[in-house]
Amino acid sequence: MEKQTGFTHFDEKGQAVMVDVSGKHETSRTATASGRIAVSRAVYEAIEQGTAKKGDVLGVARIAGIMAAKATSSVIPLCHPLPISTCRIEFRMLPAESAVEAQATVKVTGQTGVEMEALHAVSVALLTIYDMCKAIDKRMEIQSIHLDRKSGGKSGDFVR
């Protein structure tokens, strides 16, 4: 295999490679990502009142998000498998916007960060809300998935 220069996902020949993190020190790393899903009033009420036919929408979405964080390297090419220490998914009901906000915080002690794991967790949690509520209304819209903050590693802290 060709030797890599810098932190890039391409070697000197332009071929995709997994970044070599073997020389990096293990540090505590945390990333938080969030996004939202805009829903109709009927969907909002079904989530809030727990009356969706498929069951506890936010409970299932929380589990799906955690599972997604743990499986990120199997979905995102060249992403390192990480021994995640914790993944927390929180939801906030936004009645004025008829929306649900999801936020994922992922932690690891390792040689690379967990930004992709947090972003993947939020994405799958929101997709799960869509899946569980699509029988009520398919016009839901997933919006504004982004990294809120991260800490640890050589690049230091980031706050959006």
Q: Which CATH architecture has domain 28-149?
A: 2-Layer Sandwich (3.30)
pLDDT of residue 3: 42
User: Looking at 131, 137, 148, 157, which residue is catalytic?
Assistant: 131
Whether 131 is catalytic is: yes
Handedness of CA 73, 74, 78, 81 (dihedral sign): positive
What pLDDT, in 10s, does the model give residues 88-134?
999 999 999 999 999 999 999 988 889 999 999 999 999 999 999 99
Helices (H) and strands (E) in the chain, counts: 3, 5
Question: Does 79 appear as a known binding residue?
Answer: yes
Domain boundaries, the chain: 28-149
| Contact present, 133 and 52 (Cβ < 8 Å) | yes
Question: Does 133 appear as a known binding residue?
Answer: no
